[in-house]
Amino acid sequence: MPTKTMEAATQIAALRAHLHQHAHHYYVLDAPQIPDAEYDRMFQELQTLEAAYPELRSPDSPTQRVGGAVLSGFASVRHAVPMLSIRTETDTQASGAQAFDARVRKELGLTEADPLVEYVAELKFDGLAVNLRYEQGVLVQAATRGDGESGEDVTQNIRTLGQIPLRLPNDAPAVLEVRGEVYMRRDDFERLNEQQRAKGEKTFINPRNTAAGALRQLDPAIAAQRPLRFFAYGLGECTPPEQGGPVWQSHYELLQTLKNWGFPVASQVERALGATKLIAYHARIAALRDSLPFDIDGVVYKLNSLALQRQLGFVSREPRWAVAHKYPAQEELTTVLAIDVQVGRTGKLTPVAKLAPVFVGGVTVTNATLHNEDEARRKDVRVGDTVVVRRAGDVIPEVVSVLAQKRVADAQPFTMPHTCPVCGSAALREEGEADYRCTGGLFCSAQRKQAILHFAQRRAVEVEGLGDKLVEQLVDAGIVKTLPDLYRLGLMALANLDRMADKSAQNLLEALQKSKQTTLPRFVFGLGIRHVGEATAKALARHFGQLDAIMNASEAQLLEVTDVGPIVALSIVTFFAQAHNREVVEQLRACGLQWQEGEPAPRTALPLAGKTFVITGSLPTLSREQAKELLEAAGAKVAGSVSKKTDYVVAGAEAGSKLDKAQALGVAVLDEAGLLALLAEPSN
């Protein structure tokens, strides 16, 4: 080799090694070690060298991730070792783990006197299984599972996944097949759909289908634009120990090695001794499921000892040593019976699909929001349609998509009414707004009901026992027209209501009496001023000290309050500019509602004024929104990304790159307990 070429080869090898290492830190560890610009510079230098010395090009070069030709179809690949499926535990209750353990113990010939069996518990990703084949440490082929015997060659597309190593360290065996799942994170999926919408193109149905579609793209340049990721969880063919291949005693050890070789392995992989630990894992992951950044449909239990796995073997193409324990599906099919329009407290009209009852996400769902006119139009949901409904965690169920092929011939598109379906007032959609609003204000009984429920809720003025059924009756019977009417209720009026026993009426009057002693922030929040949530109400109360000061504040004065921006300030001024709102306040005071008033607090007196926080991951008891509200009420600013200016990062489970960055920058990290302790400190 000429000297110049030798020099280029050395330079190329060094650049590739650096780029591989930094890609691993960036894509797998989520902790970049160098700025993106520096990575790009090295990448370009490598591209220039490879262009000048085409003989030094190599398929494992980082420059070769994208750039393959458009294919006319996928070649079929026969798997060296069949890709088995996994048995699903039929018992979906926690006891399913017990059934699996009992089977394994029986098949191993263990009695009650024998020790507990060790398992590995893992997540069951809702993605696509693939087999990655490495020869002499270089990725040579990637194939889908197919029918388990043969799959499709998707090597070009798999190369575009930054998380998948193109080259392995020197201690990797001559032949290594890694199995795992290609998936798409939910936030990446949402972002992708936003981009599709912005381009006026069709949106995708769910992360799994999108990942599957991307893997089967004939043009790798398109696949490269889809944010796919990978988790490794097993092996296919591997050089055997007698030919110098690795020796592993356990599945856990194998996963650790894969991790060391650069493969992403989910952080939730755990060893578990006996059925009790598996049951606990199942419950813990169920609680965590909705806060994971990707979809899972269950957990997987595997015997940890590889020798015992071999001993148990397989039955009808499923290993006896593993089982998938599923959670209730979060998406199901059902039909749309009607589309109603509901009116909220602030007059917002929300189209809601009335559904044939369907069990999804662990509950029976009969309503699913269509959010607003644009969403309803985008999804084009029609009465009679078969739709995919999703319910994840406590999130309101939503219609994800329509099965167009099942649409009935005469199904009519939904149109948003231009009058309020409850009071008949005009419904208007202002420019730049997504929602139609009823202009009826408190003339609209739907708004009145919602306003009363908002006022009476636990976090506001709290009138125990005043629920939606009762409010409905009180408003429909014309007994309660405004908030102060609540405090004018007597036993007689209540006794005339349906299903109202004397005792219940008495309890309600007592609850109303009790609610009169409240606090300023609760009262302000309870008024239901648009854009004024609990945290803002607290900030207003702390800043102004007295209700009259809030009512008479100008926009400029309101803008001095932490947490109050121009939209909120305008909303508050507009609310108190209306005589009937001031009248409601005066009448409530006249009815005996009272709270302690204080002196306005100077802004700097807020305990966390001037401090910037970032919240990441899921906290054990507080939602991120609640933590944010608490911090803002204490004067802190809550930012979205970590920088040198961040004072604290509050980190919960599944905290990712933000936590890494905080640690790299030396920013103080708090858990939820630390946050609560800080908030409780008398002076910070």
CA-wise closest residue to 320 among 298, 306, 300, 302: 302
Give whichever of 84 and 470 is closer to ligand 5U1, judged by the CB atom: 84
Q: Is 646 helix (H, G, I), strand (E, B) or coil?
A: coil
Contact 523, 457 (CB under 8 A): no
Contact 681, 607 (CB under 8 A): yes
CA torsion 297→298→303→306, rounded to 10°?
A: 20
Least separation in angstroms between CB 314 and ligand 5U1: 9
3-state secondary structure 581-594: HHHHHHHHHHCCCE
Give whichever of 66 and 86 is closer to ligand 5U1, judged by the CB atom: 86
Provide the token pair at 250.
Answer: 């356990």
Contact 156, 61 (CB under 8 A): no
Helix/strand/coil percent split, the chain, to 5: 40, 20, 40
Least separation in angstroms between CB 377 and ligand 5U1: 39
Q: 400 burial class (0-12, 13-18, 19+ CB within 10 angstroms)?
A: middle
Residue span binding ligand 5U1 (CB under 6 A) among the ranges 121-129, 276-284, 595-603, 613-621: 121-129
Among 100, 189, 233, 648, binds ligand 5U1 (CB under 6 A): 233
Least separation in angstroms between CB 85 and ligand 5U1: 6
The reply to whether 122 sits near ligand 5U1 by the rule CB under 6 A is yes
Provide the token pair at 120.
Answer: 């590995």
Q: Which residues contact 171 (CB under 8 A, 6 or more apart)?
A: none
Task: Choose the catalytic residue: 4, 106, 124, 354.
Answer: 124
Q: Which residues contact 153 (CB under 8 A, 6 or more apart)?
A: 74, 75, 76, 77, 141, 142, 143
**C-alpha R_g of the chain:** 31
Euclidean distance between CA atoms 279 and 297, whole angstroms: 16
Least separation in angstroms between CB 247 and ligand 5U1: 21
Query: For ligand 5U1, what does the binding mask look like between residues 1 and 30, x meaning CB under 6 A?
Result: ------------------------------
The reply to whether 322 sits near ligand 5U1 by the rule CB under 6 A is yes
Least separation in angstroms between CB 562 and ligand 5U1: 46
The reply to whether 319 sits near ligand 5U1 by the rule CB under 6 A is yes
Give whichever of 175 and 323 is closer to ligand 5U1, judged by the CB atom: 323
Binders of ligand 5U1 among residues 63 to 92 (CB under 6 A) are 84-86
Give whichever of 127 and 484 is closer to ligand 5U1, judged by the CB atom: 127
Residue with tokens 């008033």: 597
Least separation in angstroms between CB 87 and ligand 5U1: 9
Provide the token pair at 630.
Answer: 């608490």
Helix (H) or strand (E) holding 614: strand 612-616
Contact 229, 184 (CB under 8 A): yes
CA-wise closest residue to 575 among 343, 345, 341: 345
Give whichever of 319 and 521 is closer to ligand 5U1, judged by the CB atom: 319
Euclidean distance between CA atoms 471 and 448, whole angstroms: 9
Query: For ligand 5U1, what does the binding mask look like between residues 614 and 633, x meaning CB under 6 A?
Result: --------------------
Least separation in angstroms between CB 177 and ligand 5U1: 13
Euclidean distance between CA atoms 467 and 452, whole angstroms: 10
Q: Is 479 helix (H, G, I), strand (E, B) or coil?
A: coil
- Residues comprising the chain, all counted: 684
Give whichever of 123 and 539 is closer to ligand 5U1, judged by the CB atom: 123
Residue span binding ligand 5U1 (CB under 6 A) among the ranges 123-131, 377-385, 554-562, 627-635: 123-131
> From the CB of residue 434, how many other CB atoms can be counted at a distance below 10 Å?
12
Give whichever of 129 and 483 is closer to ligand 5U1, judged by the CB atom: 129
The reply to whether 143 sits near ligand 5U1 by the rule CB under 6 A is no
CA-wise closest residue to 263 among 28, 83, 32: 28
Q: Compute the half-sphere exposure of residue 256: CA atoms within 13 Å on the CB side of its CA.
A: 11
Among 124, 208, 325, 348, binds ligand 5U1 (CB under 6 A): 124
Binders of ligand 5U1 among residues 341 to 380 (CB under 6 A) are none
Least separation in angstroms between CB 92 and ligand 5U1: 17
C-beta pairs of 336-342 under 8 Å, 24+ apart in sequence: 336/381, 336/382, 336/383, 336/384, 336/385, 336/387, 336/399, 337/383, 338/383, 339/370, 339/376, 339/381, 339/382, 339/383, 339/414, 340/421, 341/416, 341/417, 341/421, 342/446
How many residues at the interface with ligand 5U1, by CB under 6 A? Answer: 12
Least separation in angstroms between CB 121 and ligand 5U1: 9
Least separation in angstroms between CB 425 and ligand 5U1: 55
Least separation in angstroms between CB 132 and ligand 5U1: 15
Active site residue 302: no
Give whichever of 87 and 661 is closer to ligand 5U1, judged by the CB atom: 87
The reply to whether 300 sits near ligand 5U1 by the rule CB under 6 A is yes
Give whichever of 123 and 463 is closer to ligand 5U1, judged by the CB atom: 123
Give whichever of 234 and 635 is closer to ligand 5U1, judged by the CB atom: 234
The reply to whether 294 sits near ligand 5U1 by the rule CB under 6 A is no
Give whichever of 172 and 232 is closer to ligand 5U1, judged by the CB atom: 232
Give whichever of 271 and 530 is closer to ligand 5U1, judged by the CB atom: 271
Among 127, 137, 165, 234, binds ligand 5U1 (CB under 6 A): 234
Least separation in angstroms between CB 270 and ligand 5U1: 12
The reply to whether 127 sits near ligand 5U1 by the rule CB under 6 A is no
Euclidean distance between CA atoms 474 and 212, whole angstroms: 53
Residue span binding ligand 5U1 (CB under 6 A) among the ranges 117-125, 203-211, 509-517, 629-637: 117-125
Euclidean distance between CA atoms 270 and 123, whole angstroms: 10
Burial string for 610-649 (b: 16+ CB within 10 Å, else e) reads: ebbbbbbbbbeebebeebbbbbbbbbbbbeeebeeebebb
Give whichever of 300 and 524 is closer to ligand 5U1, judged by the CB atom: 300
Provide the token pair at 235.
Answer: 């092996």
Least separation in angstroms between CB 261 and ligand 5U1: 18
Residues in touch with ligand 5U1 (CB under 6 A): 84-86, 122-124, 129, 233-234, 300, 319, 322
Catalytic residues: 124
